[in-house]
Amino acid sequence: MEAVVLKSTGLWYQMKLTEEQQIVSARLKGSFRLQDNKFTNPIAVGDIVDLKKEGDDYIIDSIQDRKNYIIRQSPKHRLAKHVIASNLDLLVIVATIAQPRTSTGFIDRILVTAEAYKIPVLIVINKVDLIQKPKDTQTLENWMDVYSRIGYDIIKTSNETGEGLDILKNKIEKKCVLIAGHSGVGKSSLLNYLDPSLDLRTNVISKTHQKGMHTTTYAEMHESILLNSQIIDTPGIKEFGVLDIEKHELKYYFKEMAALLNQCKFNNCLHINEPGCLVLEKWDQDEIEDFRYQNYLNILDDIMSQNDFWERK
């Protein structure tokens, strides 16, 4: 029998049977854990699996091919892979400029991974009602301009004023959507506003550190009848490590660099200090945003450090 994984809590998985529409718990067949020890979780939320009954228990017998999936570096194991979710129609990155502040480095790391796995992205700048300082207003305008010019869908939202919420609702209706972002950016509050029946737990910002406090423990899929969508809420992600991308591939996943492919003097150009590099020329002319280029260099450095680690092994 077929089922979709709704939640993983360790050894047991909560899932919904496709035909019966019944919520059941199932455990993993032991051989799954031996197939690829580079993954911290062999089964992820959004996976479609085949079950069998053994006595009163449901057993996950096999996993069907994934349409796509998104991975990150495991927070506990430097080079282990953690599958956040699979079979997505849309990835929504929720970011804030104030209370707490989201870095563009965090946003760009998720964007790179989404590009690599061909997952459409919507960037949501939330809590815009809290933006009061002129420099924060300028940052908001800069982000909206840069990401939209590159080719990303980006909107502003606020639960307090209602700004952008109808747009957000229209963009996530009838889709399987992953919501990702730091703790405290308002992911759960946004979803509760769009569909109060979800009743997701929310929390306040720590006054000491101006950072969000975790309320979601595991990634979990919620069925929204109102939105006719499957919403996957994730724990607040502190850092997002990029994996499975080679140094020469990274440029393909920065859209503004990919648009200049094969126009540098050397085909293997990494856009660092090579002569005849068109990316460097465009960056020098302010046609490539400085923070995007610096984020590219930082991710490239991480990739090269990972490669050096494996070579030493």
pTM: 0.90
Which residue, of 23, 41, 63, is where some domain finishes?
A: 63
Res 217: pLDDT: 46
Are residues 194 and 88 both part of a single domain?
Answer: yes
The whole-number average pLDDT for the span 247-252 is 95
Secondary structure of 207-262 in the HEC alphabet?
Answer: CCCCCECCCCCCCEEEEECCCCEEEEECCCCCCCCCCCCCCCCHHHHCHHHHCCCC
Q: Tens digits of per-residue pLDDT, 51-60? A: 999 888 999 9
Alpha-carbon distance of 74 to 241, in angstroms, equals 8
Res 297: pLDDT: 97
Alpha-carbon distance of 41 to 118, in angstroms, equals 21
Confidence of residue 243 (pLDDT cuts 50, 70, 90): confident
Are residues 215 and 88 both part of a single domain?
Answer: yes
- Bridge partners of 277, per DSSP, are none
Question: Is 213 a residue whose pLDDT tops 60?
Answer: no
Number of folded domains in the chain?
3
The whole-number average pLDDT for the span 255-282 is 95
Are residues 95 and 203 both part of a single domain?
Answer: yes
- Tell me, yes or no, whether 37 lies in a domain: yes
Confidence of residue 35 (pLDDT cuts 50, 70, 90): low
Question: Is 273 a residue whose pLDDT tops 60?
Answer: yes
Are residues 89 and 195 both part of a single domain?
Answer: yes
The whole-number average pLDDT for the span 35-49 is 82
Confidence of residue 251 (pLDDT cuts 50, 70, 90): very high
The whole-number average pLDDT for the span 244-257 is 94
Q: In whole numbers, what is the pLDDT of the chain averaged over residues?
A: 88
- Tell me, yes or no, whether 170 lies in a domain: yes
Lowest mean pLDDT among 84-93, 133-142, 173-182, 300-309: 300-309
Domain limits at 221?
69-233
Residue 97 backbone phi and psi in degrees, to 5: -95, -25
